[in-house]
Structure 1
Amino acid sequence: MKARTYALIAAWLVAIIYGVTFTIAKDVMPKYIDAFGFIFLRVGGSMLLFWLCTLFVKTEKIERKDFPRILAAAFFGVAFNMLTFFKGLSYTSPIMGAVLMVTTPMIVLVLSAIIMKERMENRKILGILLGLAGTMTLILYGKSMVNAPNASLGNLLVFVNAVSYGFYLILVKKLMDKYNALSFVKWIYLFGFLMVIPFGWGKFQAVDWGLVPTSAYLKIGFVVVVSTFLTYLLNLLSMRELKPTTVAVFIYLQPLFASIFAIGLGKDSLSWVKIGSAILIFIGVYLVTQKKSNKPQESVSEEQ
């Protein structure tokens, strides 16, 4: 029970950090650095941090047969996922980008039912639908779209990213059950970095770093260290105790926290629509994260 509580706290922290990241990343690109250049910096910096960690934390040797899964996880969870997301975010608004990410729990639920033969409990389906309703209400009535030069393309790319991340959550679960997190994450980021080099190197070189203000450097640092390195570790911690569908539903909280952050900066205002949306989202997350209490203890532990 204690481990599950820590896992849920980790999932909440990830949602808060990601909610803040939408606005922070949007402040940096494409004004100072192109989306693909930012991804090159983000993945490369995180890869170095993960490999540095292995100098202080003992890791296991990965079996050769598991490298195809790691390569697939690197593609869906790092390279393709981040390239489509950041490019999409550079075209659409932060709030809309956050909202479109909520399609991930639906995707993961379906993929889990197909690939992992996970049962689609009525309680989980209701929770996901309530969260979806709250999130769509938040975007449709909560904030006008601003700073979105090509919203249609941006929204499509963010949706493609959500599908990609759904595949990643399914792929990485089996690795989590077999290895210590750092043992395979360092490889996921190494392969992911190699995949993004062809797209990001030229854009990274094109940046005139002398014109980039200190505030932008700090925001880039936040995205690399906190939004990528730290959240990846927290996500893996939560996935050790929770099902992929449970972890995915926390994405519903991202647009909520994105709105709270925007309101705090004076870029948005509070309304009853937003309060109602927030209530629906929280109820949805609650329903999905609660375990059935009427089962024997053995079954409950297997459900985690």
Structure 2
Amino acid sequence: MNPPSQRLSVVVALVVVQLFYGLHYIAARLVIADIPPRGWAVLRVAGGALVLVLVCLAARKSLRISKLDLRELAVLSIFGVVINQVLFIEGLSRTSTAHSSLINACIPALTLLIAVLLHRERVTTRKLWALLIATGGVALVIAPSNSAFGARMLTGDLLTLTNATSFSLFLVLSKRLMSRMDPLVASTWLMVIGTIGIGIVGGPTLVGAMPLDLSAQTWWLAAFIMIFPTAAVYVLAYWALKRIESSSVALFVYLQPIIASTLAVWLFGEALGWPVFVGGSLIFAGIFLTLRRQRDLRQ
């Protein structure tokens, strides 16, 4: 596969990841109306792990890994699964979807900052301009909801910010592991190990709190979240991390506010103003700039 074709494949994969994440905001809100947030985080990760194990078995993938990789995945699961998943859903249950998507849009900047601090990436003028342009786009998209900011959402916002920071650290630390592991195998082990950790944190909330009369809609939404915004996105993100820098992968998070706004129009009939269209253009410009002349794309 030639580099331009592979670059296009990476872009498509990362756009699909953000589409699933955008759908997840709406689906998760409906699910946690019936299931305790932390308990749902446990079910989501456990379900995602089961899906990935079944996929590995169907694809006849060997799940044998070295003790070194196992230890590294155990550490990564703390940041990429346990802290990330628990604080995301706890934050979403306390704040608005707009707040959550805005704060998670900080992931590219946080990822670049962490990568630079850990000497994993170099700062370039192109990267800084890409972040500034895309951040300006996010600000325009979210600006109409600024009046909704209130002190009552502070706890949820802080939980979400911690979630975003944890996921950013996960992206940076995962980069080296991806140079030697299969994305599907790595994702499977990450979710399996993460299930143990998140079970310790959130398992007790399921005892006596899990409704027995969940609606069919809740079950379908739960299945969707386990398969796509959980299992599939980890595999796609890991696959992309093998081919471009972690800060470039993270930059696609800027698509989430655009996707969330589009879904709001489609599902709830909300109107979109010029900030969404102008902001969306800036977001795509930022993504294009960071991908332009990407030198580390693998053959």
Establish whether TM, by shorter chain, passes 0.5: yes
Q: Which among 63, 77, 83 is matched to residue 86 of structure 2?
A: 83
**Structure 1 residue aligned with 2:20:** 17
Q: Which among 93, 107, 126 is matched to residue 123 of structure 1?
A: 126
Matches for 1:151-300 after TM superposition, within 5 Å:
151-205=153-207, 206-210=209-213, 212-291=214-293, 300=295
Matches for 1:82-121 after TM superposition, within 5 Å:
82-121=85-124
Please state how far the C-alpha of 1:301 moved relative to its aligned partner: 4.9
> Partner of 2:65: helix, strand, or coil?
coil
Q: Supply the AA of the counterpart residue of 1:178.
A: R
CA distance in 2, matches of 1:87, 1:280: 30
Contact 2:242–2:298 (8 Å) recurs in 1: no
Write out per-residue CA displacement over residues 12-42 of structure 1, whole angstroms, 9 at most, x where no aligned residue.
111111112111111221x201111111110
Q: Which among 3, 7, 10 is matched to residue 7 of structure 1?
A: 10
Please state how far the C-alpha of 1:44 moved relative to its aligned partner: 0.5
Q: Supply the AA of the counterpart residue of 1:234.
A: L
Contact 1:142–1:271 (8 Å) recurs in 2: no
- 1:27 equivalent to 2:27? Answer no
Matches for 1:45-56 after TM superposition, within 5 Å:
45-56=47-58
Closer, same or farther in 2 for the Cα pair 1:177/1:60, shift >3 Å? Answer: farther
Contact 1:11–1:238 (8 Å) recurs in 2: yes
TM-score (norm. length: structure 1) = 0.90
Contact 1:142–1:274 (8 Å) recurs in 2: no
CA distance in 1, matches of 2:23, 2:146: 16
How many percent of aligned residue pairs carry the same amino acid? Answer: 27
CA distance in 2, matches of 1:44, 1:227: 13
Q: Which among 71, 75, 85 is matched to residue 72 of structure 1?
A: 75
Contact 2:79–2:167 (8 Å) recurs in 1: yes
Closer, same or farther in 2 for the Cα pair 1:127/1:33, shift >3 Å? Answer: same
Q: Supply the AA of the counterpart residue of 1:15.
A: Q
Contact 1:142–1:273 (8 Å) recurs in 2: no
Please state how far the C-alpha of 1:59 moved relative to its aligned partner: 2.5
CA distance in 1, matches of 2:298, 2:155: 39
Contact 2:243–2:297 (8 Å) recurs in 1: no
Please state how far the C-alpha of 1:276 moved relative to its aligned partner: 1.6
Mean CA deviation greater in 195-204 or 162-171 = 195-204
TM-score (norm. length: structure 2) = 0.92
> Partner of 1:178: helix, strand, or coil?
coil
Please state how far the C-alpha of 1:81 moved relative to its aligned partner: 0.6
Closer, same or farther in 2 for the Cα pair 1:195/1:117, shift >3 Å? Answer: closer
**Structure 2 residue aligned with 1:41:** 43
**Count, aligned residues:** 294
Q: Supply the AA of the counterpart residue of 1:126.
A: W
Unaligned ranges ≥5, structure 1: 293-299
Contact 1:91–1:154 (8 Å) recurs in 2: yes
Contact 1:181–1:236 (8 Å) recurs in 2: yes
Q: Supply the AA of the counterpart residue of 2:164.
A: A
Unaligned ranges ≥5, structure 2: none
- Consecutive aligned runs of 4 or more in structure 1 exceeding 4 Å deviation: 301-304
> Partner of 1:268: helix, strand, or coil?
coil
Please state how far the C-alpha of 1:145 moved relative to its aligned partner: 3.8
